[in-house]
């Protein structure tokens, strides 16, 4: 599949426009059906009801543009199958998220579906030799892959607690993934990554503070599967196994940090990790006196910092790889400690 710089620009632009146009239509439908995120002082910070279902616009935009591009390019059967292997699991879990947005499912059914999708994806990736940055032990690779997919899906979902937070962070991570996959010669993965960037940026027109629509579980889980799978299919230009394993983790460090802080705070307080609360990074920043707009910019900035560390890691002399991994881990620990020590209620 031959793609040039002009093609990537077109992919970004048309996806941005399409999702930007679809989102207000979905918003209108959500309002008409009363599919709304209602204010709740226990774990919500918005003051007025905000419609869900923004994830439907994101998913439709990504699916329509991806397959339209494949048809226009006359792509091979193998490329269509590759696209299906990435997008079909995202659709499946996105539908579970949509069901949750409408019916408010309990945590256990969501977790079961996430685990099943994670298992199916891991089977395809590992048995089909479509994964490049894990161990050589099949059983361990299965466990790591399932844990990664389920964990990132939940992290993106948890992180969707502030206007523009999740969408902006996914856009940033996907932007770095676009560069990294181009660097490694994985042109289709780069094309899908830039489509994700276009979709999330188009959605941000309506989701930036003050948000007029949320992506909901449908969008968070759809994007979670895609970004998790893309990140572990990446073949980074690193020498050591540790550096290779660190790349996807660093790209998604801030959603992982948010989930870690929130879950451990809830465990410390003796509450369920799945129970909503005002203990996420965004809530802590707001309690420190930052506005919602400034808080989301801080989180975006931190995502960019870790993305830059990934660029350094993948372009530095191999002798310094472990040093960059160590410094990145140290930064993450410092941030975790600082956030964890702030008030969680």
Interatomic CA distance for residues 182 and 190, integer angstroms: 6
Strand extents, DSSP E, 7-160: 36-37, 50-51
Query: What is the domain range of residue 25?
Result: 5-341
Asked if omega into 98 is within 30° of 0 (cis), the reply is no
Per-residue pLDDT, 258: 95
Number of domain units in the chain: 1
Local structure of 35: helix, strand or coil = coil
Q: What is the largest CA-CA distance in the chain?
A: 59
Q: What is the pLDDT of residue 152?
A: 94
- For residue 106, the model assigns a pLDDT of 81
Instruction: Provide the pLDDT for residue 81.
Output: 86
- How far apart are the C-alpha atoms of 47 and 180, rounded to whole Å? 40
- What is d(CA 338, CA 27) in angstroms, rounded to the nearest whole number? 37
d(CA 37, CA 286): 20
Q: What pLDDT shows up at residue 36?
A: 85
- The kind and range of the H/E element at 194 are helix 187-207
CA–CA–CA angle 122, 199, 212 (5° rounding): 115
pLDDT tens per residue across all 345 residues of the chain? 567 788 999 999 999 999 999 999 999 999 998 888 776 545 555 557 889 889 999 999 999 999 999 999 888 888 898 888 889 989 999 999 898 888 887 878 888 888 888 888 887 777 666 665 566 677 787 888 888 998 999 999 989 888 999 999 999 999 999 999 999 999 999 999 999 999 999 999 999 988 899 998 999 999 999 999 999 889 888 888 889 889 999 999 999 999 999 999 999 888 888 777 888 999 999 999 999 999 999 999 999 999 999 999 999 888 899 999 999 999 999 999 999 998 777
Can you give the pLDDT at residue 172? 97
Supply the pLDDT for residue 131: 62
């Amino acid at each position: 599949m031959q793609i040039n710089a002009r093609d990537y620009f077109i992919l970004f632009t048309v996806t941005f426009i399409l999702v930007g146009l679809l989102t207000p239509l979905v918003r209108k439908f959500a309002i008409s059906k009363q599919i709304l995120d209602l204010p709740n002082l226990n774990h919500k910070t918005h003051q007025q009801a905000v419609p869900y279902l923004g994830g439907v616009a994101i998913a439709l935009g990504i699916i329509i543009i991806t397959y339209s591009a494949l048809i226009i390019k006359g792509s091979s059967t193998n490329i269509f199958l590759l696209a299906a292997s990435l997008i079909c699991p995202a659709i499946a879990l996105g539908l579970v998220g949509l069901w949750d947005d409408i019916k408010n499912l309990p945590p256990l059914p969501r977790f079961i579906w996430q685990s099943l999708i994670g298992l199916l994806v891991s089977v395809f990736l590992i048995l089909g030799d479509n994964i490049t940055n894990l161990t050589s032990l099949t059983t361990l690779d299965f466990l790591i892959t399932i844990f990664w997919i389920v964990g990132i899906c939940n992290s993106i979902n948890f992180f969707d607690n502030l206007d523009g937070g999740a969408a902006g962070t996914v856009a940033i991570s996907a932007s770095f993934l676009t560069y990294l996959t181009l660097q490694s010669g994985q042109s289709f993965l780069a094309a899908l990554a830039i489509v994700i960037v276009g979709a999330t940026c188009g959605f941000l027109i309506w989701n930036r503070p003050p948000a007029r629509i949320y992506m909901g579980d449908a969008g968070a889980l759809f994007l979670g599967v895609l970004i998790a799978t893309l990140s572990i299919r990446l073949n980074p230009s690193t020498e050591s196994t540790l550096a290779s394993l660190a790349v996807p983790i660093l790209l998604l460090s801030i959603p992982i940090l948010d989930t870690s802080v929130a879950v451990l705070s809830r465990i410390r307080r003796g509450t369920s990790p799945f129970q909503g609360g005002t203990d996420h990074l965004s809530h802590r920043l707001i309690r420190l006196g930052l506005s919602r707009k400034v808080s989301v910019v801080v989180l975006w900035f931190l995502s960019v910092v870790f993305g830059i560390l990934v660029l350094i890691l993948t372009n530095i002399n191999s002798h310094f790889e472990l040093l960059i991994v160590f410094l990145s881990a140290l930064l993450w620990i410092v941030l975790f400690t600082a956030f964890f020590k702030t008030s969680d209620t």
